[in-house]
């Protein structure tokens, strides 16, 4: 008699290891609980910075007119960790970075950036728009799976000046492991708002820093009247961790006294949410569990939304199973395999820390 109309069940990721297993879990749970009782938790949606992302887009009129293909050149989503697998080697061997980070966290961030304004703030209105984004992701082809998806595995290196072991030397890891600890990919949202705008996603362990951010690179001015060699000068950086806030990068006119001429110089406007609102805000899981108690589904993933994410990821998993090359090695303390820079350079762009 515990399952009443007021009962809620919280499901933690990963929910399955492919589309079929995810459907099986959802079917089994759905036989006992209704969809409005099921809270599929993704702690990234509980982060204050992600909440501010929704507020930035849909609570202000400043950016929304520019939030489209005519004004945005590319969008980069980075979720980087300095940590390795720690004592979770056995778990990570059966999961990998694609299942652990891309299928859920990264795609949820992409949806928040790419979705259309919902008709209201109700849970299903928001989740309907996120589902449209997932259904609009460009399908994979044999060529794009080879060119636009890169997997890597960290080798020995140094983090913070201290030597760290390679992934294959971690506790619980197969010495001949082919599990990826890094993924970078390029995709597009095939709709009227975003057609032709590349979205670059990368995530990995033992990278050069702990850094989660979204970088929106705006197109350059259509006609240059200043003599400036600065590329991608206009960008909005949405910092998720370790700091929480916004950075707006602009060009301003400075005075070069030596040449007695005006030059353009990059300037940065910061909005540090930790300083503005304090460090002691509610944590991600805390916020989400409070929402469970209150019965708010806005920040939880619906079954069709989750299945669509698995459907899009599954061709990558199938491709990797037949790919004898395996993950590309990269040294711990770097930003991943060098092929990642080559991938983004094919579009004429570079990662934010390289520009």
pLDDT tens for 185-220 read: 999 999 999 999 999 999 999 999 999 999 999 998
Could you state, in chain order, the average pLDDT of each consecutive group of 10 residues for the chain (355 residues)? Answer: 94 92 96 96 87 86 92 97 93 95 96 95 95 98 97 96 96 96 98 97 97 94 71 85 88 66 78 72 87 94 96 97 94 97 96 89
Mean residue pLDDT of the chain comes to 91
Task: Compute the half-sphere exposure of residue 267: CA atoms within 13 Å on the CB side of its CA.
Answer: 9
Handedness of CA 284, 290, 292, 294 (dihedral sign): negative
Within a domain: residue 354?
A: no
For residue 136, count CB atoms less than 10 angstroms from its CB and return exposed for 0-12, middle for 13-18, buried for 19 or more: middle
Neighbours of 265 (CB within 10 A): 15
**Per annotation, catalytic residue among 17, 105, 223, 279:** 105
Tell me the per-residue pLDDT of 67-77, one tens digit each, with 9 for 90 and over: 999 999 999 99
- Predicted TM-score (pTM) of the model is 0.94
The Cα 179–Cα 46 span in angstroms is: 28
Residue 54's CATH number: 3.30.360.10
Domain assignment present for residue 185? The answer is yes
Domain count for the chain, please give it. Answer: 1
Would you say residue 186 lies in a domain?
yes
> How high is the pLDDT of residue 152?
98
Domain that holds residue 278: 9-345
Predicted pLDDT at 262: 63
Respond yes or no: is residue 279 known to be catalytic. Answer: no
Residue 27 lies in a domain: yes
Local structure of 48: helix, strand or coil: helix
Please give the structure tokens belonging to residue 235: 């960008």
């Amino acid at each position: 008699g515990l399952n009443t109309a007021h009962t809620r069940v919280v499901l933690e990721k990963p929910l399955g290891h492919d589309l079929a297993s995810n459907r099986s879990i959802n079917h089994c749970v759905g036989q006992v609980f209704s969809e409005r009782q099921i809270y599929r938790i993704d702690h990234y949606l509980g982060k204050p910075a992600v909440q501010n992302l929704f507020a930035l887009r849909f609570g202000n009129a400043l950016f929304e007119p520019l939030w489209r293909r005519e004004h945005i050149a590319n969008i980069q989503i980075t979720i980087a960790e300095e940590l390795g697998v720690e004592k979770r080697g056995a778990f990570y061997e059966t999961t990998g970075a694609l299942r652990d980070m891309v299928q859920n966290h990264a795609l949820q961030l992409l949806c928040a950036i790419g979705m259309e304004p919902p008709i209201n703030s109700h849970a299903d209105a928001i989740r309907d728009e996120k589902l449209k984004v997932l259904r609009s992701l460009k399908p994979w082809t044999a060529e794009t799976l080879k060119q636009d998806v890169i997997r890597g595995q960290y080798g020995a290196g140094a983090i913070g000046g201290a030597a760290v072991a390679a992934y294959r030397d971690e506790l619980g890891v197969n010495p001949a492991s082919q599990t990826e600890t890094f993924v970078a990919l390029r995709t597009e949202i095939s709709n009227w708002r975003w057609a032709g705008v590349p979205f670059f996603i990368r995530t990995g362990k033992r990278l050069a820093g702990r850094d989660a951010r979204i970088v929106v690179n705006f197109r350059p001015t259509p006609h240059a009247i200043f003599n400036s060699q600065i590329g991608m000068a206009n960008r909005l950086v949405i910092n998720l961790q370790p700091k929480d806030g916004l950075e707006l990068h602009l060009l301003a006119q400075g005075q070069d006294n030596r040449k007695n001429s005006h030059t353009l110089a990059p300037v940065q406007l910061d909005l540090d949410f930790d300083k503005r609102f304090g460090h002691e805000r509610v944590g991600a899981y805390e916020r989400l569990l409070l929402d469970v108690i209150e019965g708010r589904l806005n920040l939880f993933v619906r079954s069709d939304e989750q299945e669509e994410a698995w459907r899009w990821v599954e061709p990558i998993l199938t491709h990797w199973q037949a790919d004898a090359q395996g993950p590309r090695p990269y040294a711990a303390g770097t930003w991943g395999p060098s092929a990642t820079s080559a991938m983004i350079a094919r579009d004429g762009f570079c990662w934010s820390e390289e520009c």
